[in-house]
Amino acid sequence: MADPARAARLAKRITTIVASAIGGEIKDPRLAHVTITDCRVTGDLHDATVFYTVMGASVDSEPDVAEAAAGLAAATGALRTKVGAGTGVRFTPTLRFELDTVPDATRAMDELLARARAQDEMVARAARDAKPAGDSDPYRHDDEDPDESEESAG
């Protein structure tokens, strides 16, 4: 079992190597919009899971995740060779690519928060226009005389 700090350093190094290789050395058009977000290495340093996202070519276009996954699968061997040369470890970890779901979860959370803010605004608007059912201030205050309040009650 390797040191967890060593595994974290190796994961960071693998992230850097894979990202730079996809950005400049691997000439696959399917990987043009792939961004490496994170990497996790097992405790024995034999397996690495590389997380990626696929950004759209433009704001209104949907990214092609299946094409990016196929491009990463095709480039896995070349990327593993580059990781082996760049890390200098005895055993080059096997690379497994997984789509990172954090951006989608973040987007969904932002939508939920926007809906909650809209509901809060509706409640605030309704409360601003509301009138109390009884007295406008139904609580006793310290500055009132207790005998006075008993006489008015009876």
- 18 and 91 inside one domain: yes
| Structural domain includes residue 151 | no
CB 39 within 8 A of CB 50: yes
| Structural domain includes residue 143 | no
* Identity of residue 42: T
Taking residue 18's Cβ as centre, other Cβ atoms within 10 Å add up to 27
Question: 31: which residues sit within 8 A by CB, 6+ positions away?
Answer: 22, 68, 71, 72, 75
- 76 and 108 inside one domain: no
- 79 and 35 inside one domain: yes
* Tens digits of residue pLDDT in 51-77: 999 886 555 667 788 888 999 999 999
- 87 and 123 inside one domain: no
- 33 and 94 inside one domain: yes
- 48 and 64 inside one domain: yes
| Structural domain includes residue 77 | yes
| Structural domain includes residue 21 | yes
CATH number of the domain encompassing residue 32: 3.30.300.20
Q: Burial code of 55-65, b = ≥16 C-beta within 10 A, e = fewer?
A: eeeeeeeeeee
- 124 and 94 inside one domain: no
Question: 44: which residues sit within 8 A by CB, 6+ positions away?
Answer: 1, 2
Taking residue 106's Cβ as centre, other Cβ atoms within 10 Å add up to 10
| Structural domain includes residue 149 | no
- 51 and 123 inside one domain: no
Residue range of the domain that includes 37: 4-99
Q: Tell me the C-alpha distance between 41 and 1, whole Å.
A: 12
- The end-to-end CA distance of the chain, in Å, is 83
| Structural domain includes residue 137 | no
* Tens digits of residue pLDDT in 11-43: 999 999 999 999 888 888 888 889 999 999 998
Domain count, the chain: 2
Selected residue with higher pLDDT from 151 and 127: 127
With 0.75 as the threshold, say if the pTM is over it: no
